């Protein structure tokens, strides 16, 4: 009995805090927030204001400067990696480049490694003629890159993936297609493969 009286007295004491919201017999009280909670809340607001002032370009801790510095370091690392290993190019992502510097690199690679079999003018020798409309393994940039990369060992063409990085293979394949395709040089090797144009 005492327990019931205590509960009713408590409920009566809450009448001053009761709001007009009631859901399924559950009443809502308008109690004041605990002081410790309010201090934490106001503290987070003050902290946020100070943080914004100090870290978003208005104070001495400029995160944008740090971010730019990190981007510069990352760009240097990417450039060093690409210089050593070549860009992320394979037979699926290769593109026909037309940049003069890249084609000059492709020409240097061709003259150093390819002329023995394909001739200086691309007319062929041991290897096939690049200047006519007939291609054994196709004349898209993807197909030429793949032949350069993996070679055709059964026909004497060695794979170049161990000696050239992917970007160099892209450059030499682009040079072959840009420089020789459709030239039909005099004295070129007889057609081999299928006509593609």
3-state secondary structure of 123: coil
- pTM across the whole model: 0.57
d(CA 43, CA 62) in angstroms, rounded, equals 23
Q: Which residue ranges form the domains of the chain, and what is each CATH number? A: 2-31 (no CATH), 100-195 (1.10.760.10)
3-state secondary structure of 63: helix
Helices (H), the chain: 2-13, 35-55, 63-85, 100-113, 115-118, 141-150, 166-180
| Beta bridge mates, 29 | 18
* pLDDT classification of 1: cutoffs 50, 70, 90: very low
Give counts: helices (H), strands (E), the chain: 7, 4
Q: What is the pLDDT of residues 48-69, one digit of tens each?
A: 998 888 777 666 666 777 888 8
């Amino acid at each position: 009995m005492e327990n019931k009286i205590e509960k009713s007295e408590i409920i009566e004491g809450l009448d001053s805090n009761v709001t007009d919201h009631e859901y399924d017999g559950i009443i809502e009280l308008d109690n004041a927030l605990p002081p410790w909670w309010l201090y934490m809340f106001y503290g987070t607001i003050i902290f946020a204001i100070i943080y914004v002032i100090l870290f978003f370009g208005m104070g001495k801790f400029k995160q944008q400067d740090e971010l730019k510095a990190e981007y510069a370091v990352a760009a240097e690392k990417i450039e060093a990696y690409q210089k050593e290993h070549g860009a992320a190019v394979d037979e699926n992502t290769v593109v026909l480049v037309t940049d003069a510097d890249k084609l000059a690199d492709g020409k240097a690679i061709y003259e150093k490694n390819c002329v023995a079999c394909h001739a200086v003018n691309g007319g062929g020798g041991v290897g096939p003629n690049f200047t006519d409309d007939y291609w054994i393994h196709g004349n898209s940039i993807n197909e030429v890159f793949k032949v350069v990369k993996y070679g055709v060992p059964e026909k004497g063409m060695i794979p170049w993936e161990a000696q050239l990085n992917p970007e160099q293979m892209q450059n030499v394949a682009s040079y072959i297609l840009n420089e020789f395709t459709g030239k039909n040089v005099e004295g070129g090797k007889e057609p081999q493969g299928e006509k593609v144009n």
